[in-house]
Structure 1
Amino acid sequence: MYQYIDQNYENVDFTHKDLRFGELTRCTFHRCRFNGASLEEITTTACRFVECDFRGAQLNASIHTESAFMNCTFHEANLFVSKFNECKMTGSDFSKAQLDGATLHQGDWSYTNLRQTQLSKQNLRGIRFLEADLSGSNLEKADLRNADLTRAQLSKAKLQGADLRGAVVDGIDFRSIEVKGVRMDAVQAIVFLRSFGAKID
């Protein structure tokens, strides 16, 4: 096990490196490459990863607390049973990433690409998904209460049994979503009806 505290890295290539079981605290990584790296069970606390490449990286069982992953690429990364506690993930791409069993607690996931991800039965309360792409994602029985879904893309997403009460749903095209079994409050019901052209007095 290793510990890095208050370290800064820029344009460093960690491709295929064995970085398992590390503890990173207040470290900054800018445009670093972690392609195919072994990062299983690492913990990050208050770290910043900006425009970093995690394509094909192994991040199984990693734990991240109040860290930021901004405009990072996680294409085909393995994030099985990873945990993100109050993290800022804005602009990051999770296309074809393995997110089964991952825990997302609070945080900002705005502008992320989460297409076709497995998020069923997840507690996603209060998370910010502003303009996130959740097209084709499985959100069945997910708890999305008080989440910010403003202008999120939910085309062909599975929402059966999801709880949207208190969530911000402005700008969502409900015409492309199957809402059977979705729990809504009165405000959301009005937004839903307006998306189908209804006039509400």
Structure 2
Amino acid sequence: MYQYTDQEFNEVDFSRTDQRDGELTRCTFVRCRFIGTSLEEITTAGCRFIECDFTAAHLNASIHTESAFENCIFHDANLFVSKFTECKMTGSDFTKAQLDGITIEQGDWSYTNLRFAGLAKQDLRGIRLLEADLTGANLEKADLRKAELTRTQFAKAKLKGADLRGAEMDGVNFRSFSVEGARMDGNQAVSFMRAFGAKVD
């Protein structure tokens, strides 16, 4: 168990070290490397991680509150049962990341790469996913009510049983994915019909 408060780290290499069970408060990490690092059960509060590399890192059961992970790399990272509350994840890349059991409460996940992510049955109400890439993602039975989905990419995503009511979906290409079984509101239904050439008065 260790604690860091109000500390700053620039281009520090923490790769393949044991950093489990830490408490990080208001710390800043700039271009640091956490490749293959053990970060199980760490907690962060009000921290900033800028352009950090978490490739193959183990973040199982970690808890993050009002922290920012901006333009970070999470390739092959393990985020099993991790929790992100009101976090800013803009521009981060989650290619092949393990997201089973993840909890996401609010927050800004705009411009993230979540291609083929497993997010079935997730509660994503009110989350910002502006221009995020959810190509091929599994969002079956996910709750996306009132989410910000402007220009979000859903090509070949699975949305059966998902709840999209109240979500902002301007600029979404409805022709690139199936909405069969998804719940939509009137405005979204109109946008959907227009995408397929219907004239709606």
Fold shared by both chains (TM-score > 0.5): yes
**Secondary structure of the equivalent of 2:188?**
helix
Paired residue for 1:121? 121
Q: Percent identity?
A: 72
Structure 1 spans left out of the alignment, 5+ residues:
none
Alpha-carbon deviations, 1:21-71, whole Å to 9, x = none? 000000000000000000000000000000000000000000000000000
Q: What is the correspondence of 1:8-157 to structure 2 with a 5 Å cutoff?
A: 8-157=8-157
Distance in 1 between residues matched to 2:79 and 2:198, nearest whole Å = 42
Which one-letter code corresponds to 2:165 in the other structure?
R
Cα shift at 1:132: 0.2
How many residues are aligned here? Answer: 201
Q: Distance in 2 between matches of 1:169 and 1:131?
A: 10
SS at match of 1:69: strand
Q: Shift of residue 168 of structure 1?
A: 0.5
Offset at 1:178?
Answer: 1.0
Find the residue that maps to 1:190 and give its secondary structure.
helix
Question: Displacement, 1:200?
Answer: 1.7
The one-letter amino acid paired with 1:25 is T
| Counterpart AA for 1:57 | A
- Could you tell me which amino acid in structure 1 is paired with residue 147 of structure 2? A
| CA deviation vs aligned residue, 1:94-131 (integer Å, no higher than 9, x gap) | 00000010001100000000000110000000000000
Cα distance, 1:176 vs structure 2:
1.3
Shift of 1:198: 1.6
The alignment partner of 1:98 has SS state of coil
1:49 alignment partner, SS class: strand
- Cα distance in 2 for partners of 1:194, 1:90 equals 30
Q: Measure the CA separation in 2 of the matches of 1:194 and 1:105.
A: 32
What's the secondary structure of 2:84's corresponding residue? strand
Distance in 2, matches of 1:148 and 1:156, equals 19
Tell me, yes or no, if structure 1 residue 181 matches structure 2 residue 190.
no
Q: Which runs of 5+ in 2 are unaligned?
A: none
Give the secondary structure class of the aligned counterpart of 1:175.
helix
Q: For 2:20 and 2:161, locate their aligned partners in 1 and report how far apart those are by CA, in whole Å.
A: 37
Q: CA RMSD in A?
A: 0.5
Query: How far does residue 194 in structure 1 lie from its aligned partner after superposition?
Result: 1.2
1:134-155 Cα offsets, whole Å, 9 max, x none, are: 0000000000000011000100
User: Amino acid of the residue matched to residue 64 of structure 1?
Assistant: H
C-alpha separation in 2, matches of 1:170 and 1:197? 16
